[in-house]
Amino acid sequence: MLRLLKYELRKTMLAKLILLAVTLTAQAVFLVGLWGKRDIPLAIGAFLLFVIATNGIVLMGILSVITLHRDTNTKLGYMLFMTPNSCYRILGAKVIECAVSILLAGAFFFALGWLDFSLLLGQGANEEIWNMFTEMVKAINSKIVLDVPHISALVFSMLAFWLCTITTAYLADVLSSSLLYGKKANWLVTIPLFILLNWGISKLLTLIPSSIGTIPCMVWQGVAALVLAGAMYVVTARLMEKYLSV
Residue 195 confidence (pLDDT)? 92
Residue 41 confidence (pLDDT)? 84
Q: What is the pTM of this model?
A: 0.81
Residue 169 confidence (pLDDT)? 92
CA pair distance 72, 240, nearest whole angstrom = 8
CB 126 within 8 A of CB 78: no
CB 5 within 8 A of CB 97: yes
CA pair distance 166, 175, nearest whole angstrom = 14
For the chain, the average pLDDT equals: 82
Residue 185 confidence (pLDDT)? 67
Q: Is residue 150 within a helix (H) or strand (E), and if so which, with residue range?
A: helix 148-179
CA pair distance 210, 231, nearest whole angstrom = 24
**Ranges of each domain in the chain:** 2-244
The residues of the chain scoring below 70 in pLDDT are 75-84, 122-133, 136-146, 181-185, 244-246
Dihedral sign, Cα of residue 49, residue 50, residue 51, residue 53: positive
